[in-house]
Structure 1
Amino acid sequence: MSTPLVQQFPSLAQYPPSFLKDLLSSPELTEAFLFSLPEVKELAAEVEKLGRENDEIAKRNIELRDELIALRDATAQSYAYAEGLKRKWTDIEKAQANLYQRNRPSFLHLRLRHSLTAQDELSEKIASAFIEGRSAGASLPGSRVDSPLPGAEGTSTPVSGGDRNQSKAIEDFINGFKAARKTYHKRAIWAERWSRGEVAWRDD
């Protein structure tokens, strides 16, 4: 006779049905008998094995708990550090873009032309200041030191302090004006060459 119970536990096929019916009348006897079956013993051994494996896994997890917690904290710190670097890189890219903007050839050419105009105005201011200073000095009365001594006709006139100051002022003006115009002409030459396309900028 084939029943679901016999199909699940083939070793029961060797027992008569009357024995099995009597066996089912006592739960304690049924349990003891079932645990004596080879299939149940094999299943119990497998369950016990799984239990031992679970215990080993739990023990291993406990051993790794501190290490995993430390790893979690280190991961969180690394993530925060990476986020900080990401924000910093954004600022660096922005600063780099601004720096590139200020050093583009077109912008530098514009600055050169502006500086050329400013240098021309500077030299004109130097000349105007000198001319205005000369005009103001010419209206001042002469010093007594500048006058020749009585009865000293035919003798050389001594150089006055005003003449020395005036010579020094002229010399300073010439040097300053020449330096300003020299800078102006240098910038003018570069601006002209740049306009003709004779100035090339490398990207590196």
Structure 2
Amino acid sequence: MSIQTALTTEFPELSHLTREDLEDILADPAYFQAIFHTLSKVNELYQNQAELRLANETIANQNLGMQEELYKLRSETKDAFDEAKSLEVRWAELQREQREVYQRFTPQFLLMRLRHATTAQDDLSEALASTFVRSASSETAATPANGKEVDDFVKEFRELRKTYHKRVMWGDRWTIGQVAWRDDVYVTR
């Protein structure tokens, strides 16, 4: 099959042209362009290209029509994301604060506080007794202490020692495992 036959098969519009006409088309660019733009496949290609361009323009116009709404949604999304990030930071702060608060109520911390309070109570009752003994010994030389002062001392000292011994008892129970702590209340066995 010759080139001319293949060309006329592919482009039937050129079948009426002679070999010399085809050679003239190839030799003259203006003539080539004139013949080229009359071919049905080329016109079909241009038509398809125009339809695609029109479809692209339509899509582009639709996209441009949604541009403001998209910018608004982007802004709202960014604001929501920023707020979520700030809430996430706040959540971490609150968790840290909560751990610090809960730390004061852990069994170990409460036992430590009980032991410190027991020691402080013992020191307080001993200080009261020492003060009474010093004041009584200084008063003995000058004036004997009256019964009311002694009764007041005994009453106050007894209350201080009672609290001290209750704390010692709770500490002892804890030490031998008779105190179990739960999240809601403490339980003794």
Indicate the TM-score class for this superposition, using the shorter chain for normalisation: 0.7 to 0.9
Per-residue Cα deviation, 1:5-47 (whole angstroms, up to 9, x for no partner):
9399533562443332334455444334322322112211211
The residue aligned with 2:174 is 194
Other structure's SS at 2:180 match: coil
The residue aligned with 1:183 is 163
**Partners of 2:35 and 2:178 in 1: CA distance:** 107
- Trace 1:1-204 onto structure 2 (pairs within 5 A): 1-2=2-3, 6=7, 9-12=10-13, 14-16=15-17, 17-24=19-26, 26-140=28-142, 167=148, 169-202=149-182
The residue aligned with 1:159 is none
**Partners of 2:24 and 2:66 in 1: CA distance:** 53
RMSD: 3.1
In structure 2, the CA distance between the partners of 1:172 and 1:42, relative to structure 1 (3 Å rule), is farther
Does 133-142 or 76-85 show the bigger shift?
A: 133-142
Per-residue Cα deviation, 1:41-66 (whole angstroms, up to 9, x for no partner):
22112111111122122212222222
Unaligned runs of 5+ in 1: 143-161
In structure 2, the CA distance between the partners of 1:201 and 1:30, relative to structure 1 (3 Å rule), is same
Native 8 Å contact 2:8 2:15 kept in 1: no
Identical positions, percent: 35
In structure 2, the CA distance between the partners of 1:24 and 1:186, relative to structure 1 (3 Å rule), is same
Native 8 Å contact 1:11 1:38 kept in 2: no
Does 24-33 or 101-110 show the bigger shift?
A: 24-33
Q: How far did residue 188 of structure 1 move? A: 1.2
**Partners of 2:9 and 2:156 in 1: CA distance:** 115
Looking at CA atoms only, which structure, 1 or 2, has the larger radius of gyration? 1
TM-score between both structures, scaled by the size of structure 2: 0.76
Unaligned runs of 5+ in 2: 185-189
**Partners of 2:98 and 2:150 in 1: CA distance:** 48
Other structure's SS at 1:200 match: strand
Amino acid across the alignment from 2:136: R
The number of residue pairs the alignment matches comes to 181
Does 41-50 or 191-200 show the bigger shift?
A: 41-50
Native 8 Å contact 1:127 1:177 kept in 2: yes
**Partners of 1:26 and 1:56 in 2: CA distance:** 39
In structure 2, the CA distance between the partners of 1:13 and 1:33, relative to structure 1 (3 Å rule), is closer
TM-score between both structures, scaled by the size of structure 1: 0.71
